[in-house]
Structures are given as structure tokens and as C-alpha cells.
């Protein structure tokens, strides 16, 4: 199912999250690097500290020495509406979808005003019914992450999003950073497609390209994963991110997988197409020794050798007991005309 106009295959979304570390210039650099690596879209997180957090919010990982509190960190991550619009324009100039996750009602309003291309609902917001309600009226697809939610919570969120006539993509996700292979849950993808009868995707936090490649075999419509210039960059998401060189590999790999999955191979037609190779590599019935005319062929008279341009090896039992019309030298491929 096509989610975004002009994108028929899996939409590959580069997730910047907080990797820009509050630098507008770095955010613009991520856009260029994502486009150069072949991504279809770029995704940010829109934080407005006063609207989403309190000074007592705990750290997930206390990684920052310059921010006294988590609240101060969110404050430092803020961009103005004008700056968000500049990022949107830059992304579109580079042919990228511009997507962001709102973490407050104020962030929803801001993103509506700058007209993003899709919503991403973060795992921690799936149960935030008022925020989901606020998405109505902005008819853009909703990518629904499911990293912390039981089925019942996902069911409720999908129903609420659909009540506003918004397209929904249910994203398998595990909120462990980085996610180990056994927790990635890509086997849930076909179950989600069947349960919700909608496009599905993977929001990957493994920090590798492998889950994305594996999920492509399931025909996902969207893949989102964290990106970084280097895993040693400052911030909490480096270990759960891929570099842009890896992103390029991933994009190329998924495009190849999509061709393979969609391309049926007719074995009979392929065998005919490969007839010249079959003649080279298959074996024929061959004289194992010099044989005189009139000889009745016994097993020790015959051998199976390349090329496959004589009587096929599969007919050996049929040929045993036949009489030669002509003499045949050793290593000569038997032909139909040699036999009575």
C-alpha cells in the first residue's frame, strides 16, 4: 500500500531525534547527509519544554554534564517555528519527506502550521488520547510507534486515529536502546498487518542494518531508524543509530530485496534460458573405453562426463543393453545414431 505520493516501495526514514544537540546547523547537516544516503524522509522530534515536561522529570540516561535537569535539556533542544519551517523547506528541497514527533499539544499546533508531511507518534505518546485527538483536521499519515504498548493500547490508538479519517501505519518497535536481536520483534509485522489491515513498518533501535533488511522481506511500507555521523557523537542515541555509510548500504540492500521479493522465477523458463549453461555443466553418456561396432553396451562400457551435448546422463539405464551400430572411441559422447 502506498503511503506517500510518489513512493511505491518502502519509505526509509532517517530519524535525527536529538542527535543535532540543539544546533540548527547540525540539523541542516543531517538533512543533507540523509538525502545523500538515499533516504526518503527525515524525522525530528519537536520538544517544547514548558509544554511537555516538569523540572522533576528523570533522565532516561544521564549523559549530559551541561544540562542540570532533563527539563533544561529539552529546553536546549527547542527550535523556533521559523527555524522548523526552514528545516522543512530544506528537506523538501532535497526531496525528503519532513516528519516530526510532537510531545505536546503546543507541538502539534506548531507542526500543523508548518504543514509537515506525516506525524510520528512516539511510543510514550500512544496512550496520550488528547494528543491523538488533536491530530484530527490535518489529513496526513500517522506513523504509530508501539515500543511500550500492549495490544489493547495499540487497538485503542488505531481506532482513535481512524475515527478522524487519518491513514495509519502501525510500526513494530521495541523501546530498548540498542535493541538486541531477540527483542526486535520483526515476526510481529505480519500479525500487525492482519490485525489492523493497514500498512506496517519497523521503527528500529538496534544500531545495525540487519533488522531493516530482514523486515524488508516482510514487505514493510515504512522503515525508520536513528542516524548519526559517528556513534561517538554526544547524545543518548549513538549506540542505537546507524552511520550514513551504513544507511547507504541499507537503502541499497532494501531496494535489491524489494526486486527479489516481487520477481517470480519460472523454473521451466529459466532452464530453457540457461540451456547453453546446461550443455556445459551437465553430463552425457560417454564411452569408457574403445568399443567396436556390434558391442552390446554394459555398465562398465559407459561413463558420465561433460559436456551435456550428447545423450543425457539420466538415460543411462535405458542405454544399457543397446547394441552399437558403429565403433566408438574412448571418451566419445554417444549419439542416438550410434545405436541400433
- Sequence spans of domains, the chain: 11-262, 268-338
Instruction: Report the alpha-carbon distance of residue 118 to residue 187 in Å, rounded.
Output: 25
Q: What is the pLDDT, as a whole number, of residue 329?
A: 97
User: Percentage of residues in the chain with pLDDT exceeding 70?
Assistant: 100
Q: What is the mean pLDDT of residues 134-151?
A: 94
* 168: β partners: 142
pLDDT at 1: 62
Bridge partners, residue 45, by sequence: 101
Q: What distance in Å separates the CA atoms of residue 13 and residue 222, rounded to the nearest whole number?
A: 7
* Domain 268-338 class, CATH top level: alpha beta
Q: Whole-angstrom Cα distance, residue 113 to residue 115?
A: 5
**286: buried, middle or exposed (CB in 10 Å: 19+, 13-18, 0-12)?**
buried
Say if residue 268 is preceded by a cis peptide, omega within 30 of 0: no
Question: What is the mean predicted confidence (pLDDT) over 79-101?
Answer: 98
Q: Per-residue pLDDT tens for 297-324?
A: 999 999 999 999 999 999 999 999 999 9
Q: How confident is the model at residue 66 (pLDDT cuts 50, 70, 90)?
A: confident
**Strand locations in the chain, DSSP E?**
11-17, 41-46, 97-102, 118-121, 142-145, 168-173, 200-204, 222-228, 242-243, 284-287, 302-305
Superfamily of domain 11-262: Aldolase class I (3.20.20.70)
Rg of the Cα atoms in the chain: 31
Q: Which residue's entry shows cell 524489494?
A: 258
- Please state, in angstroms and rounded to a whole number, the distance separating the CA atoms of residues 164 and 170: 16
Residue 259 has pLDDT above 80, yes or no: yes
Which residues have CB under 8 Å from 19's CB, separation 6+? 26, 30, 226, 227, 228, 233, 235, 237, 238, 241
Please state, in angstroms and rounded to a whole number, the distance separating the CA atoms of residues 73 and 64.
8
pTM value > 0.85 = yes
Separation between Cα atoms, residue 315 and residue 293, nearest integer Å: 21
DSSP state letters, 47-84? --HHHH--TTPPPSS---SS-SSHHHHHHHT---HHHH
- The pLDDT tens digits for 99-121 are 999 999 999 999 999 999 999 99
DSSP bridge partners of 121: 144
Cell numbers 491513514: residue: 167
Strand partners, 305: 284
Burial 96-122 (b: 16+ CB within 10 A, else e): bbbbbbbbbbebbebbbebebbbbbbb
pLDDT score of 117: 97
pLDDT band at 235 (very low <50, low <70, confident <90, very high): confident
Amino acid at each position: 500500500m502506498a503511503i506517500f505520493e510518489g513512493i511505491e516501495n518502502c519509505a526509509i526514514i532517517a530519524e535525527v531525534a536529538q542527535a543535532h544537540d540543539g544546533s540548527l546547523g547540525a540539523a541542516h547537516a543531517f538533512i543533507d547527509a540523509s538525502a545523500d544516503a538515499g533516504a526518503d524522509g527525515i524525522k525530528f522530534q519537536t520538544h517544547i519544554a514548558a509544554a511537555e515536561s516538569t523540572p522533576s522529570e528523570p533522565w532516561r540516561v544521564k549523559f549530559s554534564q551541561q544540562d542540570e535537569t532533563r527539563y533544561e535539556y529539552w529546553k536546549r533542544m527547542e527550535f523556533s517555528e521559523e527555524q522548523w519551517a526552514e528545516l522543512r523547506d530544506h528537506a523538501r528541497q532535497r526531496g525528503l519527506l519532513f516528519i516530526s514527533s510532537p510531545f505536546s499539544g503546543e507541538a502539534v499546533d506548531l507542526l500543523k502550521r508548518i504543514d509537515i508531511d506525516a506525524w510520528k507518534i512516539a511510543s510514550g505518546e500512544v496512550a496520550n488520547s488528547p494528543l491523538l485527538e488533536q491530530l484530527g483536521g490535518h489529513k496526513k499519515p500517522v506513523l504509530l510507534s508501539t515500543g511500550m504498548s500492549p495490544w489493547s493500547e495499540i487497538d485503542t490508538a488505531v481506532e482513535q486515529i481512524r475515527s478522524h479519517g487519518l491513514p495509519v501505519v502501525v510500526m513494530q518497535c521495541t523501546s530498548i536502546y540498542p535493541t538486541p536481536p531477540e527483542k526486535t520483534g520483526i515476526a510481529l509485522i505480519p500479525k500487525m498487518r492482519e490485525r489492523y489491515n493497514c500498512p506496517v513498518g519497523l521503527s528500529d533501535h538496534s544500531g545495525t542494518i540487519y533488522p531493516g533488511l530482514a523486515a524488508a522481506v516482510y514487505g514493510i511500507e515504512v522503515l525508520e531508524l536513528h542516524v548519526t555521523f559517528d556513534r561517538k557523537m554526544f547524545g543518548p542515541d549513538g549506540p542505537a543509530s546507524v552511520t550514513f555509510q551504513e544507511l547507504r548500504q541499507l537503502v541499497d540492500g532494501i531496494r535489491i530485496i524489494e526486486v527479489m521479493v516481487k520477481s517470480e522465477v519460472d523454473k521451466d523458463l529459466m532452464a530453457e534460458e540457461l540451456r547453453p549453461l546446461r550443455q556445459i555443466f551437465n553430463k552425457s553418456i560417454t564411452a569408457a573405453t574403445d568399443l567396436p561396432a556390434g558391442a552390446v553396451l554394459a555398465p562398465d562400457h559407459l561413463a558420465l562426463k561433460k559436456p551435456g551435448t550428447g545423450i543425457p546422463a539420466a538415460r543411462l539405464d535405458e542405454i544399457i543393453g543397446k547394441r552399437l551400430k558403429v565403433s566408438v572411441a574412448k571418451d566419445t559422447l554417444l549419439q542416438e545414431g550410434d545405436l541400433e
